[in-house]
Chains A and B, each alone.
Chain A
């Protein structure tokens, strides 16, 4: 009965209740959605880091990371593999040869980390093969008599392999993407011109289109004009097992694009057998073994087990290799907390205000209830239930709206390509797929109810202080 009255009381002043509910809805939605966006940046970054770059756990020769010495190989590869495979949640492991070297073309040269990989295993384990830019080749699928290398777009640009050219093909790609004809014809002066760097094309486009259209259309234009000569070669230089400088030409097998500029700029992947021939490393000579887990959540447990079993090795997980990432993930938790605290505080004030108004407006009625025998506990519960209903309705509708918007945007993602440079320089994707886990929803619901309860205390106490005699007399 009290529950029923409380529920009905919520709706007796509909406009007021709806305004509060709308305010709560907007607050909760804004909180949930912005957390989902921030969360997605982190989750995508962790996902990319784990699935494209590092895997979950790495085992190195103890000296390797300090010395980068080609001779710091893992002494007993088979033992390492079997220990790693017996760790909880371990899906697959693979050895890597890792060599510091220099990549160069006739134009430029730059320092890189060359990874000799087991192509078949890594195709299964990591998503790097999927990150290939269409039209640039394959992940080591075509057999040639040349050595092959899989490099990042950034490195390709750095080495001056990529050109930009608004040829016929590029123009038709632009039309396909729905870029207005006005913009395309505006670019006429640079049709067919070859740009040796993205920056030069950007400048030319900005001059032709003006700032506003430039911002809007530069990304599709860059995308369409991008071109690269298949089979371009780079020279990789490094030292072999005898500390003798060596090197060879490598055909570009494919070019990948990730959201991590640093990684793209410094990583070169080469089939391990090709690297073995050049360096003199034998079969099962690896510097590092990477292990992929079924899920991130196994990380700590698996790391500590492997660390115990392989005490003479350096065992690192992704959190340790990229402490900034782990820090960001931790920081997210705190930002969650802060955000929720702000939203809930705003919510609490809204409820206190509304309920106080509602109680003071009903002085007489509450006095009457006390007079006819509704005890203090019941009056308190009634006011409390009213606050809880308000906050639950508002909270749930906020989460429903938030959930819906997240679900809608999660499919296509939110494209912040305009700001992509800033994001990608830090290794974060500019194309965000908002995501939030169910736990968050459950915790938020509980917090909202708690806030409802807490913020009902003051108005409910106020209601109890009413003296029935005084209250009834109030006209």
Chain B
């Protein structure tokens, strides 16, 4: 089942006199349960593409359909609500709310969705447990390591029960051990819970683990490779 359909999308930035064709005629589909990496050198358009997928930015031309819903048809206020209900975000620099504890950071997004307190607490707890932070519920971000913060960010991204999670260079600021733990957690969530993850990344560790690798260059898709999985018994 297709979660995301990208149809001939272009994104052109008109800054002063220089036109930047950041995304150039990209067409891609993503299915439920994918674990995909978008790779490419700096300036290849990975982040722009991710922003377009996340409804943070709108394409200059072309269509992006999420579960059949055309993002460009939504007003900006509807778009925010759409993001809240459908898309989980993990950012390169974690971006947790510094004044809230891990538990509150995860619960916050559900509060925005008006989920009642009891359900919020239960889900928060189980998510933080899933990312291996069941004992750090009451820690504020400043008391957590980078890897731990990014795991809280993953828990937060999942809290809203999104259709997919977009992760923009999630391991860029982590050491290899923390990056490995984080990737394993995400891979496990993907495998067991069928959660769709799409990364933009430079990181060979992420690329190695991804089951689909899309390579961009100058805003164009130059390769889209689905790997044979050895570590996933269900995906044969």
Give the interface of A toward B (CB within 8 A): 1, 5, 8-9, 11-12, 364-365, 368-376, 378, 468-469, 472, 475
Which A-B residue pairs are the 8 nearest by beta carbons? Answer: A373-B84, A8-B99, A1-B111, A368-B95, A375-B80, A373-B83, A469-B56, A469-B51
List A contacts of B99 (CB < 8 A): 5, 8-9, 11-12
The answer to whether A376 touches B111, judged by C-beta atoms less than 8 angstroms apart, is no
The answer to whether A12 touches B156, judged by C-beta atoms less than 8 angstroms apart, is no
Distance (whole angstroms) from the CB of A389 to the closest CB of chain B: 13
List B contacts of A469 (CB < 8 A): 51, 56-57
Q: Contacting B156 at CB < 8 Å: which of A372, A374, A472?
A: A372
CA distance A9 to B104 in the complex (A): 14
CA distance A386 to B214 in the complex (A): 44
Indicate whether B36 reaches chain A with its CB closer than 8 angstroms. no
The answer to whether B91 touches A373, judged by C-beta atoms less than 8 angstroms apart, is no
List B contacts of A373 (CB < 8 A): 80-81, 83-85, 87, 109, 112-113, 160
- Residue from the set B56, B80, B89, B156 with the largest chain A CB neighbour count within 10 Å: B80
List A contacts of B88 (CB < 8 A): 372
A-B contact list, 7 entries, CB within 8 Å: A1-B112, A8-B100, A365-B98, A373-B81, A373-B109, A375-B84, A472-B95
Distance (whole angstroms) from the CB of B96 to the closest CB of chain A: 8
CA distance A396 to B89 in the complex (A): 41
Count the B residues whose beta carbon is within 8 Å of the partner chain — how many?
29
List A contacts of B89 (CB < 8 A): 368, 371-372
CA distance A205 to B78 in the complex (A): 85
The answer to whether A375 touches B108, judged by C-beta atoms less than 8 angstroms apart, is no
Distance (whole angstroms) from the CB of A329 to the closest CB of chain B: 49
List A contacts of B77 (CB < 8 A): 375-376
The answer to whether B112 touches A374, judged by C-beta atoms less than 8 angstroms apart, is yes
Q: Contacting B109 at CB < 8 Å: which of A12, A365, A370, A372?
A: A372
Q: Which residue of A lies closest to B80 (CB)?
A: A375
List A contacts of B107 (CB < 8 A): 1
Q: Which residue of A lies closest to B47 (CB)?
A: A473
A-side binding surface: helix, strand, loop or mixed?
helix
Indicate whether B144 reaches chain A with its CB closer than 8 angstroms. no
List A contacts of B160 (CB < 8 A): 372-373
The answer to whether B80 touches A370, judged by C-beta atoms less than 8 angstroms apart, is yes
- Given the interface pairs A468-B56, A469-B51, A472-B95, the reply to whether A372 lies near B100 with Cβ below 8 Å is no
Per-residue 0/1 for B139-172: is the Cβ within 8 Å of any A Cβ (1 yes, 0 no)? 0000000000000000011001000000000000
Given A365-B95, A374-B112, 15 other A-B contacts at CB below 8 A? Answer: A1-B107, A8-B99, A8-B100, A365-B98, A371-B56, A372-B88, A372-B160, A373-B81, A373-B83, A373-B85, A373-B113, A374-B84, A375-B80, A376-B77, A376-B80
Indicate whether B54 reaches chain A with its CB closer than 8 angstroms. yes
Distance (whole angstroms) from the CB of B29 to the closest CB of chain A: 24
The answer to whether B80 touches A368, judged by C-beta atoms less than 8 angstroms apart, is no
CA distance A11 to B108 in the complex (A): 19
List A contacts of B51 (CB < 8 A): 469
B window 42-97: CB within 8 A of A:
51, 54, 56-57, 77, 80-81, 83-85, 87-89, 91, 93, 95, 97
CA distance A8 to B95 in the complex (A): 17
Q: Which residue of B lies closest to A368 (CB)?
A: B95
Q: Which residue of A lies closest to B160 (CB)?
A: A373
List A contacts of B54 (CB < 8 A): 371
- Given the interface pairs A372-B156, A374-B80, A375-B77, the reply to whether A5 lies near B100 with Cβ below 8 Å is yes
Per-residue 0/1 for B178-191: is the Cβ within 8 Å of any A Cβ (1 yes, 0 no)? 00000000000000
List B contacts of A372 (CB < 8 A): 83-84, 88-89, 109, 156-157, 160
Q: Which residue of A lies closest to B84 (CB)?
A: A373
List B contacts of A12 (CB < 8 A): 98-99
The answer to whether A371 touches B83, judged by C-beta atoms less than 8 angstroms apart, is yes
CA distance A368 to B54 in the complex (A): 12
CA distance A368 to B56 in the complex (A): 10
Distance (whole angstroms) from the CB of B51 to the closest CB of chain A: 5
Q: Contacting B91 at CB < 8 Å: which of A8, A9, A472?
A: A472
Q: Contacting A375 at CB < 8 Å: which of B81, B95, B109?
A: B81
List A contacts of B108 (CB < 8 A): 1, 5
Q: Which residue of A lies closest to B86 (CB)?
A: A373
Distance (whole angstroms) from the CB of A366 to the closest CB of chain B: 10
Q: Which residue of B lies closest to A362 (CB)?
A: B98
CA distance A372 to B107 in the complex (A): 13
CA distance A371 to B83 in the complex (A): 7
CA distance A372 to B157 in the complex (A): 8
CA distance A472 to B96 in the complex (A): 12
Distance (whole angstroms) from the CB of B206 to the closest CB of chain A: 19
CA distance A5 to B97 in the complex (A): 9
CA distance A373 to B115 in the complex (A): 14
List A contacts of B83 (CB < 8 A): 371-373
CA distance A369 to B97 in the complex (A): 9
CA distance A12 to B141 in the complex (A): 13
Q: Which residue of B lies closest to A475 (CB)?
A: B93
CA distance A133 to B148 in the complex (A): 81
List A contacts of B100 (CB < 8 A): 5, 8
Q: Contacting A365 at CB < 8 Å: which of B81, B85, B97, B157?
A: B97
CA distance A369 to B93 in the complex (A): 14
Q: Which residue of A lies closest to B88 (CB)?
A: A372
List B contacts of A364 (CB < 8 A): 93, 95
Distance (whole angstroms) from the CB of A186 to the closest CB of chain B: 66
List B contacts of A371 (CB < 8 A): 54, 56, 83, 89, 91
- Residue from the set B57, B91, B99, B109 with the largest chain A CB neighbour count within 10 Å: B99
